[in-house]
Amino acid sequence: MAQVWAKYVKLFRVSIIVAAWVAVAIPAGAQKKDKNKTVPPPDPTEELKTAMRGPDSQFIDQTIGEALGYWQIGDTESLHKYYADDVAVVSGAWEPPVIGWDNFLKAYQAQRAQISGARMDRINTLIKVNGNSAWATYQFTYAAQMNGVVVQFRGHTTLCLAKQSDRWVITLNHSSIVDSTAPEPATSTGPPQATSKP
């Protein structure tokens, strides 16, 4: 009887050891399989996407839209609240940068005196916020009448912004023109008229 009892105790010990080994081996095997799985690399744009979804990004997007609206209708008093006093503006034309709100205002008013019906549309806006500074970039199309001719431009604008108190202001406005067209004024489609020589 003692021998039978010893066999049961030995069998019980072996069962416990096997159970312990199984308990350890199964998770280790599962971990090994997980290690063999191909883990996709992190999305490098995820940080940018996260920064673009925040409330500051939405406020900046609204700021840009309102500034463009005031720019189009010529309301410089309202436009000024979106620009820093020491703003730097780089136009798409081959000309020196304009530094300071007062100089930008003069250039804007001089340009506006030559055009009518100006319209600017923006698409593909990207915004990145980093604390109290941010940048935004977008594509634009611009159309206006200048000296009786419709002019059109397409390009890119990049803005640098700074948070001042509870609002964002533009500190750098840089535009690049990708292409432009200046259609000729409409001409008569009738038959050519004969001209007499003197």
pLDDT single digits (tens) 87-105: 999 998 889 999 999 999 9
**Could you read off the pLDDT of 25-57 as tens digits, one per residue?**
444 444 444 555 565 566 554 554 444 456 899
Q: How far is CA 60 from CA 5, 64, 92, 107, in A?
A: 81, 6, 23, 25
pLDDT at 163: 96
CATH (residue range 46-181):
3.10.450.50
Q: What are the structural domain ranges in the chain?
A: 46-181
User: What does the block give as tokens for 42?
Assistant: 């992190």
Q: Give the H/E segment covering residue 59.
A: helix 55-73
**Could you read off the pLDDT of 69-84 as tens digits, one per residue?**
999 999 999 999 999 9
Residue 61 and residue 173: Cα distance in Å, rounded?
15
Whole-structure pTM value: 0.64
